[in-house]
Structure 1
Amino acid sequence: MTTLLEPVLSVRQVLTLERVLAGEPEVVAGAGQLDRPVRWVHVAEAADVGVMLSGGEMVLTTGVLLAGDDELQAEYIRSLHRAEAAAVVLGLGRAFPAPPDVMRRAAERCGLPMVVLHRPFPFAELTEEVQSRLVRRKFAAVSLSEAVRTALTGLITADAPLQRLLDEIAQHSGCPVVVTNLAHRVLATAGERPAVDDVLRDWERISRQAGRGEGDGWIRAELGGRGERWGGILLCGYRGDAATGRLLADRAAEALVLHRMLGGGSAHSWEEQSAQSLLTDLIGGVVPARQLLPRARAAGLPVNRRTFVPLVVRDGDPGRLDRILRLLGMPGLVAELTGRSTAVLLSLARDQDAEALAAHFAARLRTETAPGTVVAAADGRIAWDDVPAGLREAQHVAEAVADSAAVLDLPPVVRLRDVHLRGLIRLLRDDPQVQSFAERELHGLLREADEDLLSVLRTYLATGRNKSRTAQLHHVSRPALYRRLEAIRTRLGVDLDDFEQAASVHIALLAHDAQQR
């Protein structure tokens, strides 16, 4: 049998060589087996040729020792079949002016490709042609193997991320590359984006086909070690010969396993990276949502006839959030965003109560985290195209209440209707006039040394100017708080007991906080 580095041609490819075509080849048996690999070419006339073969040979003969003996002809074919020869090529001439019927029937029964040459043909030319091609392929395969190994090892040594390794693999293979977990959910991809999208659109069928080892150019290598298998890498539609594709897939698998062992993460962390990439692209809006739908489906998110609930959690650990989703049986994706926010996209059945389930998720989260954890949500979206706006809305709500969550009386799940003025100010935070207004109103407290006074002011205004509550939250006595409030009044030149002046300062502080984030 062929080994990993053994270069091969198929019987079909050999028959298309120019020198072979000059002999007018005709396939008279085993036409369905022409994709068999040819490892070598062997010229043999002896009737017991099978004992000299090791498998994969294309045997060339004139049949001069077989003529006139039907049993010997049939045994010759059976011997080649037992030796796992790739094919037999018979040169017609004095021994056999026409294809021998006994050999043809025997070859058909064995499934052995049998080819006859109608014109005289120097077997040495065919042998030389095939052997030289095989040798060139062998050196090319070894060279490719070392080039891939060197490139991937260099990237691992440089602590490159998983995506960089996959990009390198895709460049060498010239086809889409997909990494999956054991459930065939897509963890990462590489390659030309349109080709990758085509694969993901038909991922359900492709993953089944690849799992059965079927399909021209679909080459899968397992990921794992020490008796544990945790995923696979798939070359999708590789156009080179199968041996080289297998080589590439195995080299890629070796590199990914090494990358993981040296701290490049686990299969679970790769799932997190996949979700992060998808949700970040959804929120960013650079890629249309419709184009991201195949990625979501391939990542295991149910997308047909679903209600999508966008959530953003402040100070939530992505691993804990994902575990809670699994515990509650809620399908969804979890991804850490910039800052201290984590996005959660729930996918619920249409007949489920989206608002109640979001509240259930938030309640379970609060039993495992600090009481001040903020869970912000947008209303459920039925259309996938509306999901990006929903995620941005949830992110907006979470950031609008982030600085004052501990002092605000917030519901378990905060929505746009709950943020009132804070939401509006955050939307206007980049307006130059709003920025100028904030700096003008707070000018007396914007030095670094005044941060403590600014914090007291923030709490005082967020609690509705409740002095007792403010003192309690800052762990100071009432007299100490009064001194700080007096210092604030002096620095700002305002009367905080006056509703309009206090409201103006409050708006300026909200704008300042939004700008700082």
Structure 2
Amino acid sequence: MRWLLDRPALDLTLVAGSGRLDGEIDCVITSELASPGQWLSGGEFMLTTGLRLPDGRAECRQYIRGLVESGVAGVGFGVGLSHPEIPEALVDAAEELSMPLVRVPLRVPFAAIARIVLDRIAEVRYEQFVRASRTQPSMTRAILSRGVEGVVAELAVAIGQTVILLDARRELVAARPGVPAPDLMSQVREFVDHERRSAGGVRISADRAFTMQRISVGKEVFGHLVVTGAEPLSDLARVLVGHAASLLTLEHAKPTQVVFDQRALLGEVLAGVLDGLAATGHVASMLARACGRSQTVRVAVFAFTDERVARNSVAELGSACTDLWRPAFVTQRGSQVAVLLRGDDGPALAGSLSQRLSRTAGVGVGLAVPIAETAASYADAALVARTAAPGEVLDVSTSRSLLANEQIRAGLSAAYPSMLGALLDDPNATELVETLRDYLEAGGQWDRAASAAGVHRHTLRRRVDRIERLLSVDLRDARTRAELLLVLLGHDAQAR
């Protein structure tokens, strides 16, 4: 309405309803009915000469009320035919009910108003098309460079509404522009549950509209993309949501070889960073795919009984990451497997990954750090993973791990030379210390320790016997094993 009144060629004058000039016009109609409201659907700019306008104030008020209830954007009253000027009773009713009422001079044909509005609607739709043509490539580039987080962010900016991506378990994967409030998440999950048999759905309540598209291929469901805001989606927004859903579906429906190659590449990048490769430039750009809103990452380390089991678990952990909408940064490190997670991922997500492995590994979760400090998070996680029982998840940032306390680590490291001095003076000190570590981490189990050390069981027994003689200890004693293991781990933590 505001735009229409600013057209100087039409010489339109607003006489009432100035508080409602932001209403959108989607068409122009002419009506001389005495009660036109019941025939309208909303968004119209209605033109009339008042040929059958009722005379009384009450009747004029009812006339305007019917238009308000129908959602009419405004009324244009042509003067100089049925009425020399707009009746005062109609002006008063329009002002009272906040209906924009516009005086149309006799010299201005109604067709001219309709034509200029139609031209503007066509212009707006063309602008929307151009905007969509620019936004769609932006989303495509975003998924290549920033993954699903990038697509969600681009879509939220483009349509100006809240965008929420859930995985197949209806757990939150990504959201923009902010983390949804718990009550909103409850509404979203309830809506998705209600529409679980549908490829998409729409729900409109008194104060909020929801639109959902399922991310799936055939019968396999990967997740749900939900958009919510105060108003239903426009045609342009629906096109962009559809495009985003297609990109997210393609992300999960890649050919097997492409998935295999991508996981291998991501694993090599993570391995390089853990080996000292600087997380800058293109490497940092790739690692950024693992970041959440916090722009940080953390490493989860899965400690297995031997390298063979760890090697066989890499593919399963990669698939589990994909199912949870996380990029598969997974790499094997001896009998351990490192997985890069978002900084805001907690131990619960690491536990979900552990469940896929039937809880056969102890899990350590490092601190949330900037990308450049990924290796430090890995070192912490690897340390606490050694103390975790199979199926247990230890978070280095909590008090559950003694090794998370810097003072305790320093004290244990200080005890290292005094407790292991005789062993450290032996010509084969390096070999014996590693054997002791493998034996202690295996909990004194001979077969498991021999597998970790890569030697025959008899060779392991000979080495353990020598260690016991040098240290004057009995490694069959659980307390002795626990003390020595803590000293070794504390020394490792301080030395890194």
- Give the structure-1-normalised TM-score: 0.48
